Amino acid sequence: MQLFKLNSVACAAVMAGFMAAATPSQAADIVIAADPWCPFNCEPGSDRPGVMVEIAREVFEPLGHTVTYETVNWSRALVETREGKYDAVFGATRGDAEDFVFPELAQPVSGNAYFVRADDDWTY
């Protein structure tokens, strides 16, 4: 849990950096799109919309912005963000969208793990 808190603080700092020049008079609705990828971004409008949605709201709402999260097909999210319909996407990599702006520290960081019985000889 402590690592999650540290990552959240780091993410908040990165996101706040993007908005450093904004003033309350410039506050706007920030619309973020992605395909569902729970637990990072889940069901819009639910009490548990996903950790990335919650982090974005924690960062931007105190600055006077509202954060709206919409689920759309992943390809459509990328195309329509480029066209200006959305302000950002959750979960893009440089391979997905090398023309997008990325923070120096990716958030959140996750990994994969495989578990087998002790007597199983399966390897990856």
Q: How far apart are CA 115 and CA 72, in angstroms?
A: 33
Per the domain annotation, does 96 fall within a domain? no
Confidence bin at 124 (pLDDT 50/70/90): confident
Q: Could you read off the pLDDT of 38-81 as tens digits, one per residue?
A: 999 999 999 999 999 999 999 999 999 999 999 999 999 999 99
Task: Write down the pTM of the prediction.
Answer: 0.69
Hey, is 114 helix, strand or coil? coil
Tokens 């997905």: give the residue: 96
Summary mean pLDDT of the chain: 85
Give the model's pLDDT for residue 6: 44
Asked if 87 and 32 count as a contact pair (C-beta separation under 8 A), the reply is: yes
CATH number at residue 35: 3.40.190.10
CA 11 to chain centre: 9
Q: Which residue range is the domain that position 54 belongs to? A: 2-89
Per the domain annotation, does 41 fall within a domain? yes
Q: How far apart are CA 75 and CA 81, in angstroms?
A: 10
Per the domain annotation, does 115 fall within a domain? no
In percent, how much of the chain has pLDDT > 70? Answer: 79
- Looking at the structure of the chain, the number of domains it has is 1
